[in-house]
Amino acid sequence: MKFRNALLLIAIIAIVGGLIFIGITGAHFGIYKVDPLYKQVNLGLDLTGGAYVVYEVDNPDQVDDLDSKIEGTMTVFRNRLDAKGFTEATIAQQGTDRIRVEVPFNSEDGQGADPNMISEVLGKAAKLTIVTPDGDVVVEGDEMVSAVAQQGYSDTGVLQYQVAFKLSSEAATKFAEATQKYLGQALSIYVDDTMISSPTVEGVIAGGEGVITGSFTSEEAIDLAIQIESGALPLELHEIEQRSISATLGVDALSKSLFAGAIGIAILFLFMIVYYRLPGLIADMALVIYMFILLLLLSTIKGIQLTLPGIAGIILSIGMAVDANVIIFERFKEELRLGKSLRTSLTSGYHKALRTILDSNITTILAAVVLMIFGKGVIKSFAYTLTLGIIVSMFTALFVTRWFLRLFMNIGIKNKVLYGGRRVEND
């Protein structure tokens, strides 16, 4: 039995160690490649460098249903940024009448670290109009549902890039009448006072859905679709703030934070081993597993950006993980000093510590949830990492540490001194 448990312990350590090694360094399996987990984590603006812009609504008191129109504007911004490759950008409402756009400049996305790029991509939320040759406006911005660049076949069977658009049901009837009336003539598309396209009507568009064709390149079709969608809202915005953080400062902040965290964790590991002996060593092993699981979650959940406050949340959750182990081990030692056996002391210690651990962690999670709901920007990052860290830390403290302690006992390591008990003759 002891030999079997020893083999199980060695196998578990080897498997976990191998997974952690692959997670840190990456690996190649034939044609498959596994990138290091830290490269898959979505880093925030303060770590990668980048820029942010804040837009404010003009005359918000005069806008009906402001919240829904701000949501629509944010959707348009998201489409424009995604089309330009800024998939890691974050867009959030700030206050009641402002929108904050953050674009981290990731070196892997091929984009230059130009802080003016956000303004160039987003511009201002202009008004779209489609005008007849007689100068009548047949479609306005809020009647344009969507515009998407795609590939399609021309009348001659040639595959080409085109822009497919969709109008609201109210605009579909007016547009059908206009395309019938002006068949063979051009309808001009304006963003503000600038004409961006003047396609010729080649047929009656009766369903509110049509395509704009021409000798478009992929980039030209995408740009035209973005320009059309940029005017899909009646909101008028103006830029009130633009700031940038250099990539050098971001990388420097990240490296210093990781270095400081590594020193703190090393000191913590040493303290746990010296003070709690074998349970301290097991707690260190559980903490390594905790950090791997947390890194795996951060690299998997793309909706979470890791920022400097997010790193603070991780470090805080590490402290709470250690705190849970400390409570358990102190209870464990108390039971041992009452003369109980190792297994009885372990079971009783965990039972007595459970309520305290749950109370402290659940109240912290509740506070973090409040920050998630009402917080903005980096506050949310702190709340997300803190919540994830606490959940994982409870799992490692209540299950992983306990399982390892039982496994060591099953191997035959039963000297109470190694577990924090007092040296007693004939024990």
pLDDT in tens, the chain (427 residues): 677 878 888 888 898 888 888 888 888 777 777 778 877 887 777 777 777 888 898 888 888 778 877 877 787 777 667 766 676 677 888 888 888 888 876 544 434 445 566 776 676 545 678 899 988 888 887 788 888 888 888 767 778 888 888 888 888 988 999 999 999 899 998 876 678 888 888 888 888 898 888 778 887 888 778 777 665 555 778 888 887 766 555 667 667 777 887 888 889 889 989 888 888 899 999 888 998 898 888 888 877 878 888 888 888 888 888 888 888 888 888 888 888 888 888 888 888 888 888 888 899 999 999 988 877 667 888 888 999 999 998 899 889 998 988 888 888 888 888 887 665 444 4
Query: So where are the chain's domains?
Result: 2-40+246-419, 50-122, 128-230
Q: Give alpha helix (H) positions in 45-199.
A: 45-48, 66-83, 117-122, 169-181
Out of 3.90.420.10, 1.20.1640.10, 1.10.3210.10, 3.10.129.10, select the CATH number for domain 2-40+246-419.
Answer: 1.20.1640.10
Query: Is the separation of the CB atoms in 397 and 357 below 8 Å?
Result: yes
Q: Which two tokens stand for residue 306?
A: 């890791």
Which pair of tokens denotes residue 373?
A: 């709901």
For the domain made up of 50-122, give the CATH fold.
Answer: Alpha-Beta Plaits (3.30.70)
Q: Which CATH architecture does the domain made up of 128-230 adopt?
A: 2-Layer Sandwich (3.30)
Give the strands of the sheet with 50-57, arranged side by side.
90-94, 98-104, 50-57, 237-245
Q: What is the pTM of this model?
A: 0.62
In the three-class reduction of DSSP (H, G, I as helix; E, B as strand; rest coil), residue 94 is classed as: strand
Tokens of 309: 């406050």
Write the burial class of residue 116 (CB in 10 Å: 0-12 exposed, 13-18 middle, 19+ buried).
exposed
Q: Are 249 and 115 in contact (CB under 8 A)?
A: no
3-state class of 420 per DSSP?
coil
The answer to whether 326 touches 286, Cβ cutoff 8 Å, is: no
